[in-house]
Amino acid sequence: MEMDVKKFNLGDMMRKIKDGELQLPDFQRSWIWDDDRIISLLESVIRGFPINSIMLLECDAGNVKFSYRPIELLTAAAAQPQQLILDGQQRLTSLYGALYSVEPVKIFKGKKTECLYYVDMAKAISAANGADVEDWIISVPPSRKLKAKGVNWDLSAPEKEFAAGMFPLNKIFSGSRQWLRAYEKFHNDNVAGDFTDAFAEQVIDKVCAYEIIAVVLAKGTPLEAICNIFERVNKQGSPLDVFDLLTAVFAAKTDSDGKPIELRKDWDAVQTDFKDSNIAALAEVDCSDFITALALLVSYEHFRAGKITQVSCKGGDILKLDYGDYLNFKGDIIGGFAEAGKFLEAEGITTTKYLPYRSQLVPMAAIFAELKLSGKDNVASRNKIRQWYWCAVFSESYKDGQGARYAKDITQFMDWIDKRKEPEILRKANIVAKRLLTVRSGTSAAYKGMISLILKNGARDFLAGKNMGTSANFAESIEIHHIFPKKYCVERGLPKDKFDSIANKTLILKGTNRIIGSNPPSIYLRTIERKTGLPSAEVDEILERHFIDAELCRADNFDAFVADRARKIFAEIEQLTGHKVIGEPFK
């Protein structure tokens, strides 16, 4: 990859932006700088301080890899770009707006507003010579009048600017000499001439001679290298992913009707359908998940056809995605996500709050799509998906990052279907009792998985009788409830590793939790029977759906209860994963 380090004169760079020779790739996000950051940048330039390097990509005017656009303060550009800004958009846009544009700068100052920038001439001379001065650059609204606490500026006419000694910064590159001559004429004394000469020399000339260092990438820089570089240098800006880059790549091309390819519009329609489906997991799918899953499916199909030797869906692979492949497999991957979402609901994942791994949706959608494409979508295959899924959850196989797993997952899963060879995720699954009973955080996949098993088992609220999975999906007020209440356990000196473990927790409605309070099960179960009018046998049936032994609860036998409940949860895990949980509860 060829690159060079060059110095660019600030004025020349501003002219290039205006003329369209320097533009933005369309994947760049919006300009977001506020007033304070712009003023700080202007102070650095006037003092002659460096502002960090920028990064540009050389391009042929008639053959640009990405769709492109002018900076946000320009509505159109007169020419096709010769260079694209990969890093430095915020700084260059700010400098253009404050120093070069005749129009007010649209910024965020608490809310979106318009500003013009002025510099106090006397203070600027001092600052340029190293003095520590304050409030020497100001922003004013388009009226050029500003009245605030301790401030009352009226710069609405040149004469008022001259009287205040406030220079409009957008005249630095055009009209500065005329403004200074008019200033001298207004003051009509010898001192004014000396003062304007000092200002021109110490401020205007230095800004006009200011240089920006740029790392310039050669025209032939590969797309995947640009993707990698941009993600590294843009960490402090608005987040950007490979979908945005592919959108810009596709937008530089046309479809069969000669129209620009609008990938973003395509995704917006898919996302709307996902959200309208009321399938909880689909609401979590973002554009990056979608395009990664599609690229994974395409790569596997090419691998199956012998066109490539290895499946991959990394950033560089996605950027090479062919538009024809995108069109051919888009419907398949949409269907794959829909099947994955319905599968998760059947497994108790009715709310994204308890979705163990969102990232697992990517290979799962591709696997469901591939099963359909290959004619292998049947009960046996879906049972294998279930085993693969729960093994990943309870062995926490995605906790160390997911990118490298996707290609391995679809390849090994389809090998399992075709050749009866178990995937690595099953062979290496290590599910340990101690780990399951010590996870406390709602961010843990294993914790979310065990909560999901309770929902999958048809758990209902103790008092209202509502299905907790449905209640969770419709955002009712549900809470994690200590079956032997926490206060009760603390007062009796019961061990925290037991009473605060998943063996003593379940989901119930907030109102039910308030009624239970700190009473032991023997008391609150009688309260529930009295309030509902249900016989004990029916209340016991509700408890069983939570893997709760009613007899042990009614006897307030805490130690026997938590050991028994842990074993019941472990038995469910073993049945789903095909793996023995290693170790005994609380030993």
Give the helix ranges, DSSP H, for 20-55. Answer: 35-47
* Domain closes at, from 384, 402, 427: 427
Inter-residue contact 245 to 319 (CB < 8 Å): yes
Round to whole Å and give the CA distance between 138 and 133: 13
Round to whole Å and give the CA distance between 551 and 566: 16
User: Rounded to 5 degrees, what are φ and ψ at 461?
Assistant: -65, 140
Measured at the CA of 19, the angle between CA 17 and CA 20, to 5 degrees, comes to 65
- 440 is in which domain, residue-wise? 435-577
- In this structure, are 393 and 460 located in the same domain? no
Give the lowest-confidence range in 50-54, 238-242, 493-497: 238-242
- In this structure, are 59 and 8 located in the same domain? yes
**Which of 142, 37, 145, 129 lies closest to 91 in space, CA to CA?**
37
In this predicted structure, what is the pLDDT of residue 108? 64
Q: Could you read off the pLDDT of 386-417 as tens digits, one per residue? A: 999 999 999 988 765 566 789 999 999 999 99
Does a structural domain hold residue 219?
no
Q: Could you read off the pLDDT of 288-314 as tens digits, one per residue? A: 999 999 999 999 999 999 999 999 998
Query: How far lies 284's CA from each of 91, 209, 268, 441, 487, in Å?
Result: 34, 51, 14, 20, 36
In this predicted structure, the answer to whether residue 474 has a pLDDT above a threshold of 70 is no
3-state secondary structure of 311: coil
In this predicted structure, the answer to whether residue 241 has a pLDDT above a threshold of 80 is no
Does a structural domain hold residue 223?
no
In this predicted structure, what is the pLDDT of residue 347? 94
In this predicted structure, what is the pLDDT of residue 239? 47
Does a structural domain hold residue 222?
no
Does a structural domain hold residue 377?
yes
Does a structural domain hold residue 224?
no
Inter-residue contact 71 to 89 (CB < 8 Å): yes
Round to whole Å and give the CA distance between 451 and 356: 10
Q: Provide the β-strand partners of residue 508.
A: 479
Q: Give me the amino acid identity at 544.
A: E
pLDDT above 70 covers a percentage of the chain that reads: 93
In this predicted structure, what is the pLDDT of residue 504? 96
Query: What predicted TM-score, i.e. pTM, was given to this entire model?
Result: 0.72
Does a structural domain hold residue 444?
yes
CB atoms within 10 A of CB 514: 9
Round to whole Å and give the CA distance between 428 and 435: 16
3-state per-residue secondary structure call for 521-544: HHHHHHHHHHHHCCCHHHHHHHHH
- In this structure, are 37 and 84 located in the same domain? yes
* Domain closes at, from 396, 427, 458: 427
Half-sphere exposure of 31 (CA within 13 A, CB side): 27
Q: Could you read off the pLDDT of 551-564 as tens digits, one per residue? A: 999 999 999 999 99
Q: What number of H helices and E strands is found in the chain?
A: 28, 14
Report DSSP state, residue 252. T
Residue, of 169 and 320, whose pLDDT is higher: 169
Inter-residue contact 519 to 466 (CB < 8 Å): no
- In this structure, are 329 and 359 located in the same domain? yes
Inter-residue contact 296 to 318 (CB < 8 Å): no
Largest Cα–Cα separation, the chain: 104
- In this structure, are 372 and 449 located in the same domain? no
Q: How confident is the model at residue 234 (pLDDT cuts 50, 70, 90)?
A: low
Does a structural domain hold residue 451?
yes
- In this structure, are 145 and 271 located in the same domain? no
**Read out DSSP for 243-261?**
HHHHHHHHHTSB-TTSPBP
- In this structure, are 412 and 493 located in the same domain? no
Does a structural domain hold residue 583?
no
Say what angle helices 190-199 and 121-128 make with each other, to 10 degrees. Answer: 50
* Domain closes at, from 406, 427, 448: 427
- pLDDT (mean) for 342-356: 90
Label residue 484 left, alpha or beta by phi (over 0 means left) and psi (-120 to 50 means alpha): beta
In this predicted structure, what is the pLDDT of residue 403? 62
Round to whole Å and give the CA distance between 367 and 372: 9
Return the residue matching tokens 């359908």: 273
- In this structure, are 248 and 392 located in the same domain? yes
Q: Residues 68, 73, 77, 78: what is their CA dihedral angle, to the nearest 10 degrees?
A: -160
Q: Could you read off the pLDDT of 99-119 as tens digits, one per residue? A: 999 889 888 655 668 999 999
- In this structure, are 450 and 319 located in the same domain? no
**How does strand 478-482 pair with strand 505-509?**
antiparallel
In this predicted structure, what is the pLDDT of residue 219? 86
Residue, of 441 and 456, whose pLDDT is higher: 456
- In this structure, are 379 and 454 located in the same domain? no
Inter-residue contact 246 to 323 (CB < 8 Å): no
In this predicted structure, what is the pLDDT of residue 233? 59
User: Rounded to 5 degrees, what are φ and ψ at 301?
Assistant: -65, -40
Q: Provide the β-strand partners of residue 106.
A: 114
Return the residue matching tokens 């500026």: 153
Task: Give the count of domains, the chain.
Answer: 3
Q: Could you read off the pLDDT of 503-554 as tens digits, one per residue? A: 999 999 999 999 999 999 999 999 999 999 999 999 999 999 999 999 999 9
- In this structure, are 413 and 446 located in the same domain? no
- In this structure, are 458 and 522 located in the same domain? yes
- pLDDT (mean) for 565-572: 97
